Structure 1
Amino acid sequence: MTTSRAAPGGWRSIAVGAAAVCLVPPALLGPSGTLLLSLSALLVVAVPLLRWPWGRVTGSAAAFAAMAVSLVTDVLYTGRPGLALLWMPFECAGLLVLTGRLVRHTRSRYLVPAGLLAVLTTLALPLRFTLRKPGAGADDVVVMVLVTLLPVVCAVGVGGYLRSADNRRRRAVLRARREQRLQLARVLHDSVAHEVTGMVLEVQAAQVSAHEPGESRALLSRLEEAGLRALDSMDRTLRTLHSPEESREDAAGEDPAQPSTRVHGVADLPELVGRFAESGAVKAELDLDDEVAGALPREIDEAVYLLVLEALTNVRRHAAAARDVRVTVERAGAELRVRVVNAGGGSSRPLLPLRKGGGTGLVGLEERYRSLGGALEAGPCDGGWRVAGTLPPAAPTASSGNR
C-alpha cells in the first residue's frame, strides 16, 4: 500500500481558498463598493492562515499591511452601511488573531506601537458601520467600541501570556545549555586532563633517566592506552553535542536520542588506582568496602569516582615528593565516606606548570557534593594532603536538587 503525505502548509492553502470562495462571490453580485469590503476581509483572514516568511516578507510586515488595508477601507467605503455587516465578523476575527500574534512575536522595542496599531485597527472596524448608520449618535459609537473592546483585551491577554511562556521556555533552554556546557567542561577536566597529566609525567620521567628497551616499550604502551582513553572521552563528549539527526547519520544502529555517555563509578576505582600506580613512582593502595560497589545511586556512584580521579590528578601535578597514596571508600553509619590521602609533602615547584584557567576541579566537586546533600574538604594532613568527602546513602532527585 502506498501512502502520500500532504505538503507542509497544504491545509493553509485550502483554508485560504475556502475563505476566498465564501467572501468574494457575494461581493461580485452586489454593488461595486462591496468588492473593497470583501477584499479587505479576505486579506485580514488570509494573513494569519498563511505561512511566513514568504520570500522577504515577514509575518509582521504582512500583518501591518493587512491592518493598513483595513484602515483604508474604513475611510474609503461609501456604500450602504448594512452591507458592511456581511464581512465584518470575518474581518474582526482576523484582526483579533493578528493582534494576539503581534503581541506575542513582535520585538520588545516595537511591541508598544505594534500593539497600539492592532488595537486601534480592531476598534475602528465597527465604526465602518456605526458612523454611516442613519441617525447614529455618539452613544452608538461608544457602545460599539465597548463591545469590541472585550475581545480585543482577550486577544492582547492571550498574546501576552504566550509571549511570557515563550520567554520562559527560552530562558529554560539557555539554562539547560549552560548546565550542559558546565557538565561537559567537568567531563573534560575529570577524564581528559587526568590522562594527559599522566602522559606528560611519564614523558618527563623518561627524559630524566634512561630506559631499557623493554621498559621503553612498556612506557610507549602506557602512553598509547592513556591517549586512547582520552580520545574516547572526547568522542563521547562530542557525541552528546550532536543533534538527533546528526547522531542518526554518524552512529548507525545507536539510539540517536541517547548518545553513548558511560558514567564511571565505584566499580572502576580498582582500575583507576592501578593505572595510577603503574604510571609513576608513587605507591597507591585502595581500601574499598565490598558492599559499596554496585549498591549506590548513579549520582553518588559518579561523585565518588570523580573525587578519587581529581585527587589522584592533583597528586600527580602538585605532590612530586609524595611517597604513597591511600584511597578509602567505606560506609560510616548512614554516610558514605571517601578519602584520598597522600603521605609526603608537595614540591616547591609543581611537576606541571600552572595553567591559566586551571584549579577549578575541587571547586566544582564541592558544588556537586553540596547539591547531593554531602560535603567535601581538602587540606594538609600529617605532612601530606587529604581530600575527603561525605555523601548520603541516596542522592536527591535532579528536579528537587534544582529547586
Structure 2
Amino acid sequence: MPRPTASWPFRPTARYSRNLAEALRTETVGGIIMLAATIAALIWANTPWSDAYERLRSYEISPEWLHLEHMDLQHWASGGLLALFFFMAGLELREELTHGELRDPRDAALPVIAAVSGVVFPALVFLMVSAGVDGALRGWAVPTATDIAFALAVLAVTFSSCPAPLRAFLLTLAVVDDLIAITIIALFYSGSLNLLPLLAGVALIAVYGVLQARGVRSPWIYAPVALLAWYCVQRSGIHATVAGVALGMLTSSREPPDGRPTNAERADHVLRPFSAGFAVPVFAFLSAGVALGGAALTGVLQDRVALGVIAGLVIGKFVGVLGGAWTAVRLGLATLGEELRWREIAGVAMLAGVGFTVSLLIGGLAYPDPAQFERVTTAVLIASVLASAAAAVTFRRRVRERAREDATN
C-alpha cells in the first residue's frame, strides 16, 4: 500500500514546540537589536566622525603567540562571533533532524525543496545580471542566504497573528539555508589549506562528538575543546564558522532518563541570547557602516555586481522559494495542510530576500577590495529593505483578510 502524500505542517512534539517558541522569541528580539546596531553603524559612518568608525572596525588584535595574522575587529566578528551564530544554526539543524520537520523526509520536502530552490535561483539571477564583469563570479553566493533573525523580526512586527506553522516553515527554511551557506563557504571561500591545523581541528571536533555520544554533560570540558577546535580550523585556512556548525550538529539532543534538559537544550538556553543579542548585532555594527550619499548610491546603481545582488535577493529569492514550494506540492511531494495559504508562503518567499548577516559575510570573503565590498554591502542593505517592505505589505493584507474571514465566520 503506498504511503500517503506528506502533509505540511507536521504535528510537532510538545518538547519541540516549547523549544521552537523560545527560539523564535529570542531570534525576534535579536533581530530588533541587530536592526538597531545596523542603524547606529549607518548613522556613524555618514557623520563627520566616520573616520573614527573606520579606525574602530580596522583596529587589529593579532597576538603573535596565537599566530593569527591581520585580525582586526571586523575579522574577529566574522570569524569569531559568527562561529557562535553558526553553532546555533548547527543546534537548530540537529533539533530539526531529531524532533522537528526534518526527521521525516516526507515532512521535510516542502521547506527543503523551497530552501534549495531559494539558493539556486538567486545565484542564477546574480550571474545573469553581472555576466561579463571582471571578478563578478566570486560573488555568486552573496544573494543566496536568508537572515533568520531579521526575517523573524519583520514577521513579528507585521504579522504577529500569523499561524505557528508559518513561523516553523520560515525557521526550517532558514536552517536548511544556513546549512547550504556554510557548505558553500567551506567549498568555495576557504583559503589555502594548512594540513596540520586542519587535522588537529578535525580531531578535536571528533573528540567533542565522542564526549557528547558518551553523555558527558560538563560545559567545563566542552568549552576548551570547542575553543581549540575553532582556533585550529581558523589556522587551517577554512573559515572558522565551519567549526561552529560542525560542533553544533554534534551536540547531543538525546533525552536523559531523568528528564533533565538535553545537552543541546542547555547549550541553546545559555548561548542563544548571547548569539542573538550580542554576537550578530556586533557583526552587523562592524559590517554595515557604509556611505549613503548620492555619489555612493550612484556607484551602486552603476555597478552590475551590486545590481546582481539586489536582483538576486529581491527577485531570485522570491521566485526560488515560492516556485520550489509550489513545485513540491504540484509534484505530490508535499501538501500545505489546512493552516497555510499560498499568499502567506508568498510573503515568506519575499521575506527570504532579507540576506544581511550571511550575505555580508560571504560578500567580505568574495570581495576583499574595500570599495567593491562597500558597494555589495549597500546592495544587501537595499535588497533587505525592499524585501522587508514587500513582505510587510503582503502580510498586512493577509491580516485584514483573516479579520474579514473571522468576522464572516
Q: TM-score, normalised by structure 1?
A: 0.19
Higher relative contact order (CA 8 A, sep 6+): 2
Indicate the structure with greater helix content.
2
Q: TM-score, normalised by structure 2?
A: 0.19
Indicate the structure with greater strand content.
1
